Structure 1
Amino acid sequence: MSYLKFLVKKKELIPLIAFVGFAGVGAAGMSIYSLFKTDVIVNRQKNPEPWENVNPYEPQKLFTINQKWEPVEELQTVKQLTK
């Protein structure tokens, strides 16, 4: 019995298959989107300290409303002293 014949016979499964398919596509899309963000590490051998390369002026959240970031002076001085 082919897949389409089975769906014609059991029409109540069509919405279930549609919702599960939509959820699968959404999960795969979000996974791929997250791989391209700057705070995700794929290769730890190449960049063992990725937090040093994160741009503080670029929002790191999925959805940000009116975020303004200003550096903390004490942290900047400690960072300069440790280098």
Structure 2
Amino acid sequence: MYTHTWTYQVTHPGRTIVEVALTSVNSVDDDDGTFARFGVSQVVSDSGVENFGDDGPPVVARDGVTSVSVRMFVVNSFARGRVSRNFW
């Protein structure tokens, strides 16, 4: 089991949309126990601090975001994902 969290600082004062997606999940040893999850784990914005935990949504849109954290959780696998951040 492996968990990694990335945190991004945002300086744009307007609206922010963050989207995450798993792009690849491969078994370490061809076992059936392969599992991966990727989601937004925390957003700090004009709405306050929102903690989503390990089962966070793949897309979040908020005004006045100052930071966003995303978390990938994998079991018995290698995983790859992408993070898209859009501002306006």
Q: Check whether TM > 0.5.
A: no
For normalisation by structure 2, the TM-score amounts to: 0.19
For normalisation by structure 1, the TM-score amounts to: 0.20
More helix, by proportion: 1
More strand, by proportion: 2
- Larger relative contact order, structure 1 or 2 (CA cutoff 8 Å, min sep 6): 2
| Larger Rg belongs to | 1
